[in-house]
Chain A
Amino acid sequence: MATYIFVENQRHELHRDEITAAQIRALGNIPDDNHVFRETPGDDPDPEVPAGSFEVREGEKFYAVPPGNFGLVVATDAEAEIAGLIAEHGGEVKQTPDGQRWLVLDRFVLGPAWNPPVSKVAIRITGYPEAALDGFCIPATVMLLSGAQPTATSPTAVFGAEVWWNFSYHPVSWRMGRHTLRSYIGFIRQRLQEGR
């Protein structure tokens, strides 16, 4: 005797009263990353079908739900990424005579621990994206709110005679190929939020 079930709202006839998740997937042409759920009455969430064989009843309904799949695509176009940051913060890319390439962002939020709380920040991007990012500076006119010089920094003439605080800050969790200029800016923010 045939049993009818519904997979993704389509009626299917079975000549057995057991089925597997794989068979349901095949009936509904369900993608591998989707999970299959059995529709149940009541307020409890519908259960996912078990991996093995299980019993089905006449008229039961099964449906597929995909994962929520989100994410920034790692920028392969570094210049577009740099241009995007300049559009957000204002600024420019500067070349120094010693061959270094810097991204200078004009309106960077340092946070409430700093005076002023918004300032320029310069990020050394020489060799990026192939090379890791691990150096940044803020103008030496910026101080901690207490009036003190930021710790673990040294005054450096980065662009001509202009003096900047050069942060000795090397994020240990940098991972080549996964991180971008934007995620490095996240590390900078974390360091500045420490307010020291």
Chain B
Amino acid sequence: MELIWAHGLQKEARDLLLAHAPSEYGGALLCRTGVNGDADTFRALAFEPARTEEVSESEETGLTIDPAFWVRLAKPARKQGLSVVPIHTHPFTQAAPAFSRRDRAGELSLQPVLERLTGRPSAAVVMGERLETVGRFQDGKRLEGTVRSIGESPTRAATVAIDSEVFSRHIRAFGEEGQQRLQSLRVGVVGASGTGSHVCEQLIRLGVGELIVVDSDVVSRVNLNRIVTASGNDAAEERAKVDTVRDYAAWAATGTEVVGVRGDLLDTAVSERVRTVDALFGCTDTIASRAILNRIAVQHFIPYWDCGTEISAGHGLRAYGRMRVVLAGGPCLYCSGVIDPEALRVELLDPAQRDLERARGYIRGAQAPAPSVVSINAVVASLAVTSFLRWVVGGEPIDGGEWIFRSYAGDVRRQEAQRDPQCPVCSTGARLGRADLPVGLSQ
């Protein structure tokens, strides 16, 4: 079993609970679980500390939280379909903390009551100085599992053999375990054109296990300036862009299996396929695709790297490259203002209606192809893939936010975004952790 913290929540809980050290303290996590068959995964969306008047004992060696605390949380949790998961601290414990006998006895009596009151499975979390452990009773057995934040990649068992010759320089950089983690991941890339082909190339060279590449388009001669996986023959034969990525992987021989999905993300079958990945790159230039990828990231707790470039024509090479990391629980593309509701509405119109609105002056701006330059695409792809690599190999959790490359200044700047607590997409009461909801824009 596994518990995944929404972005920022782990630090919030740790700071608040361990402030009571050396005394133990506690509260509850509100989690989403049991959707799409992943009953053993608890996604922690919110944290509620016990109020001081709800705690009858808080000592170095013990903690008692009054029953009224659980009853206070149970009704709203049941209404929202959330699990209530008790959490308490073992201050000063540096390694993964262990449940004490008293912890387990307390959990044994509390878990079935919380499950009955909320109608959802429950568990318990014990928090040390740096790590947490999650456990629950199930079918008379005691299960324990790992805890990680959305900013940390899942640690998989080292069941994959690695080619220590091909990846010898990786192993020097981040060890065999890092390479094994790369090879155990399934990564989605939506868009296999200018930036997307660079992202695919780098992920293939890194040796990720499986790449699901989505693009509906074929290669044409106008793509040859920037699609690094495509050749002149591909353009002449009008081959699918996703097929060029698959051929490139076979040619590079680094072991990555490429699954090409020739389709549009607006197609439910395609978006359903994409939500099965461990990590997601968005390299599209449509707002609708971004809106769907944003939903997948927020609802399914899948880290999402959004890439984009912007070149001002006629100003020398005044170009911007933007890379945004969306981590469930942090600011999403909607909070950051990337998804413009009016532009999205226009994009979703059928062509006839769009032409009509344009003729009536409701829609401004020409629909000319945007400029695109291979080197700018490569910078953005490298920023995104390097951030992804940090997420994979661990060390410390990555952070969400936006990184902007400015060609004229020759620098990369980080821009903070604030999460909107009322965001219709990523707020706790909206789509955060709602893996049970469809991600399509018509739903």
Contacts and interface: CB of A to CB of B under 8 A. Distances in A.
Determine if chain A interacts with chain B.
Answer: yes
Interface of A: 34-35, 37, 43-46, 48, 63-74, 87-89, 109, 178-180, 182-183, 185-187, 189-190
B92 A88 contact: no
B61 interface: yes
A71 B92 contact: no
Given A46-B75, A183-B60, A73 B102 contact: yes
Given A70-B106, A186-B22, A178 B59 contact: yes
Contacts of A182: 92-93
B70 A65 contact: yes
B71 A183 contact: no
Contact of B24 (A64, A71, A74): A71
B148 to A, nearest CB: 20
Interface in B37-69: 50, 56, 59-69
A185 B113 contact: no
B100 interface: yes
**Residue among B61, B68, B93, B94 with the highest chain A CB neighbour number at 10 A:** B61
Contacts of B59: 71, 178
Given A68-B63, A73-B101, A45 B106 contact: no
Main secondary structure of the interface of B (DSSP, over half): mixed
A70 B109 contact: no
Nearest to B62: A71
Given A37-B71, A43-B76, A72-B24, A64 B66 contact: no
Interface in B74-108: 74-76, 79, 86, 88, 90-95, 100-103, 105-106
Nearest to A84: B95
15 contacts: A34-B67, A46-B74, A46-B75, A48-B71, A63-B113, A63-B116, A64-B113, A66-B113, A68-B63, A69-B105, A71-B62, A72-B62, A73-B102, A183-B92, A189-B92
Interface of B: 21-22, 24, 26, 50, 56, 59-72, 74-76, 79, 86, 88, 90-95, 100-103, 105-106, 109-110, 113, 116-117, 126
Given A43-B75, A186-B21, A186-B91, A71 B100 contact: yes
B92 A186 contact: yes
**Residue among B22, B56, B65, B102 with the highest chain A CB neighbour number at 10 A:** B22
A169 B88 CA distance: 29
Contacts of B74: 45-46
Given A37-B67, A186-B22, 19 more contacts: A35-B66, A43-B76, A45-B72, A46-B71, A46-B74, A68-B50, A68-B63, A68-B70, A68-B106, A69-B64, A69-B102, A70-B126, A71-B102, A73-B102, A88-B94, A178-B59, A182-B93, A183-B61, A186-B60
Nearest to A67: B64
A67 B56 CA distance: 9
Contact of B62 (A43, A65, A70): A70
A48 B72 CA distance: 11
Given A35-B66, A65-B70, A182-B92, A70 B22 contact: no
Contacts of A185: 92
A70 B24 contact: yes
B66 A70 contact: no
Contacts of B76: 43
Given A66-B110, A67-B66, A178 B60 contact: yes
B276 to A, nearest CB: 36
A190 B60 CA distance: 14
Contacts of B109: 66, 69
Contacts of A183: 22, 60-61, 92
Given A46-B71, A66-B109, A66-B113, A74 B61 contact: yes
A67 B86 CA distance: 11
Nearest to A9: B116
Contacts of B88: 68, 70
A70 B60 contact: no
Contacts of A180: 61
A126 B79 CA distance: 56
A116 B376 CA distance: 42
A88 B310 CA distance: 50
A66 B122 CA distance: 15
Contacts of B86: 68, 70
A35 B109 CA distance: 13
B62 A67 contact: no
Contact of A71 (B61, B95, B117): B61
A45 B66 CA distance: 14
